[in-house]
Structure 1
Amino acid sequence: MPENAPWEYTLYIPNDLRAVTVARRTLRLILTMHGLIRLTDTAELLAAELVSNAVRHTKGPAALRVRRSAGVLRIGAWGADPEPPEPPGELNAMRDVGEGPGLALVKACADLWG
């Protein structure tokens, strides 16, 4: 496959917190296979937070999608809940009110949130 050719993978996962580990390991293998090892740490953090939210806050199955096109890596997760989560506030503000940092970490590490 040419280096700049677009690609996409989707991993369907059950509503089980153990799926977070499976998603992280699968993502690491995909990125390594495509020569993007330098992105794995941040990508794994993003994927773990997104998948754990999808699994924790919905009752049905979830999925992780990893896509690269035009030099941009996109990571997304979704669960059975049709309503998307509210975008987080600032990380420090979330700590002050006792909320977990999950989606605030995604916001801090991702180039775009949406």
Structure 2
Amino acid sequence: MICVIHTEGDSAEWTFPADPTAVRTARTVVRSQLRTWGLDPLCDVTALLVSELVTNALRHATGPIGVRLVRPSEPLGALLVEVSDPLPNPPLERVAHPEDEGGRGLQLVASSSRRWGTRPGETGKTVWFELGPPY
């Protein structure tokens, strides 16, 4: 089940249950919204990074997962992407060894985005990143 909270104007938000299908659904709705905004060149990288962060939320937190996009307000501004979950602890960036199956999600976010970070929320935390031009 997906709950669309707001998809008008310069932002779009969704809430997903803590279910493995959330990753695929989040990729789909993010791609669709970026196409609606004319930000097609950002679809692949945004969908990849959102799926990494939603996967992390599924692994480490219980409860709903929020995804929010904020469209750039200026022609060459940054797209803001936020993924929230009810776990208050910030994610730990670690160095994955070549034989490790996981542990590269935050490295991927850090290397693919303009900036990224975490902040506490009322009921958990938000991991955010910005993607800038070219688009």
TM-score class, shorter: 0.7 to 0.9
Distance 1:72 1:103 in 2: 19
Hey, which of these two has a bigger chunk of helix by percent?
1
Distance 2:111 2:97 in 1: 14
Q: 1:73 aligns with which of 69, 75, 79?
A: 79
Hey, which of these two has a bigger chunk of strand by percent?
2
Is 1:53 the counterpart of 2:36 in the alignment?
no
Q: How many residues align?
A: 105
The structural deviation recorded for 1:69 is 3.3
Distance 2:13 2:103 in 1: 27
- Give the match's secondary structure for 2:14: strand
Q: Which runs of 5+ in 2 are unaligned?
A: 1-8, 118-135
The structural deviation recorded for 1:100 is 2.5
Structure 1 residues 58-100: Cα deviation after superposition (integer angstroms, max 9, x where no partner): 01111111112332201110111012212x25xxx42257353
Letter of the 1:69 partner, please give it.
P
Distance 2:44 2:98 in 1: 27
Distance 1:103 1:17 in 2: 19
Q: Give structure 1 regions of 4+ aligned residues with deviation exceeding 3 angstroms.
A: none
Letter of the 1:83 partner, please give it.
N
Distance 1:69 1:110 in 2: 14
Structure with the bigger RCO (C-alpha within 8 Å, sep 6+) is: 1
TM-score of the aligned structures, taking structure 1 as reference length: 0.83
- Give the match's secondary structure for 1:26: helix
- Give the match's secondary structure for 2:70: strand
User: Is the deviation greater in 68-77 or in 57-66?
Assistant: 68-77
